Amino acid sequence: MSELNNQIARRLGGKPPDLDGMNGTRSDWAGNAIEKFEADTRVDREDALSDLLANLMHWCDRNEQCFDNELRRGRNHYLAETAEEFS
């Protein structure tokens, strides 16, 4: 997150801008994926995200995907979804 986005997030109580009103829904979708992963693997909440990311790396290895490229694309989506337009 850029310093500007960090400043904006602090003003908004820790949450970055949500111009289209969908970031709560996006977070819920991610939460559903984490909960499913926890149920399937019996991993603890504190390890769930890092374990899921590691497993996604393995999935990418076996499915001709570049994890780093997809992570970069995901960051770009996140930045677009949390950008605040200035005039």
Say which residues have a Cβ less than 8 Å from residue 71's Cβ, sequence separation at least 6: none
Domains of the chain, by residue range, sit at 3-82
Q: How confident is the model at residue 9 (pLDDT cuts 50, 70, 90)?
A: low
Instruction: Give dist(CA 12, CA 31) in Å, integer.
Output: 21
Average pLDDT for 35-59: 98
The pLDDT of residue 17: 84
Contact (Cβ atoms closer than 8 angstroms) between residue 84 and residue 17: yes
Whose structure tokens read 């999935």?
59
Instruction: Give dist(CA 11, CA 51) in Å, integer.
Output: 32
The pTM score is 0.77
